[in-house]
Structure 1
Amino acid sequence: MTIKIIEGEKFAHMLIEGANNLSNNAKIIDALNVFPVPDGDTGTNLNLTITSGVKEVKGQSTEHVGKVAGAFAKGLLMGARGNSGVILSQLFRGFSKSVEGKETINAKDLSKAFEFGVEMAYKAVMKPVEGTILTVAKDSAKKAVTFAKKK
Structure 2
Amino acid sequence: MRARSFCATLVLSALAGCSTDARWNRFSETEPALLQAREFAAVDCQGPDECSLLWTRTKAYVTRYSATHIRYADERAIETARPLEAGVVYLWATRTPSAEKRGWARISVKAMCRGMYAMDGGPGWLYTQCASEIQKVEIRFRGFVLAPERGAQDDAA
TM range (shorter): 0.3 to 0.5
Q: TM-score, normalised by structure 1?
A: 0.34
Per residue, is there more helix in 1 or in 2? Answer: 1
When Rg is computed on C-alpha atoms for both structures, the one with the higher figure is 2
- TM (norm. structure 2) is 0.33
Q: Which of the pair is proportionally richer in strand?
A: 2
